[in-house]
Amino acid sequence: MQTRVLVTGAAGRIGSAFVRDVDEWYVLRLADRHIPTYQHDHESVLLHIEDLESCQAACRGMDVVMHLAGDPSPQADFYDSLLQNNIVGTYNLFRAAKDQGCRRVIFASSIWTVGDYTPERPVMTDVPVRPPNMYAVSKCFGEAVAYYFATAEGLSSIAIRIGSYESDWIWRQRDDATLRGFISQRDMCQLLTKCIEISDVPFAIVHGISDNQWKRLDITTTRELLGYQPQDDAFQLFETYHQHSIEEENR
């Protein structure tokens, strides 16, 4: 039987790429504040994560909850957005997943949770969090909620500290900090799939970046725990993109 996966934030950049990549692998329920529209056979539902009953309904009958919804902006205001979307909404999804008998929640955390470490060496998964803004604080809260539900209520939980997700703006300028924390679409989809498939993981924090030549986050434990095998290197990709751009300009 195929695994049933609820994808919150399914209309977002990470969610929509994941849906395209694994379209036939799982039975998906795509949930968002605005119902996603794709050419697929999967169920789409309206979800307001700040409402517990809406979360309960979305989680019903699912095996895994992939929680990608929430405000992704480091500049987000606490009262206007983060409190409801990243604090209340995160708790609601974990609460509903446990109540509805789901076996695991995969939580989209952020590289920002350890954003105040100096860049001299890659940050390990087991160091104390150092959030430089309230967005990062909201993601630290999510990691703590994941730990609570895993240890106190027996809900398998994996938090992924996602780096700079591949998008067009990354290639328009070279920013070493961004490239050090880069994760490509295909590496992100592989990592999400690994988090669904791995068995016997009560709780884990893993790092979501590609195999970049210089890394902001250490991915040793992520490789060992999940069998993650990233295919891309941001620095090589940037140089390739830059070279192609020069060739196009010279034509």
Active site residue 79: no
3-class secondary structure per residue, 88-144: HHHHHHHHHHHHCCCCEEEEEEEHHHHCCCCCCCCECCCCCCCCCCHHHHHHHHHHH
CA dist., res. 94 & res. 100, Å (int): 10
Catalytic residue among 135, 147, 165, 241: 135
- Candidates 134, 142, 60, 43; CA nearest to 96 is 60
CA dist., res. 163 & res. 155, Å (int): 25
CA dist., res. 246 & res. 223, Å (int): 35
- Candidates 199, 193, 229; CA nearest to 26 is 193
Q: What 3-state DSSP class applies to 68? A: coil
27-32 vs 4-8, strand pairing mode: parallel
Active site residues: 135
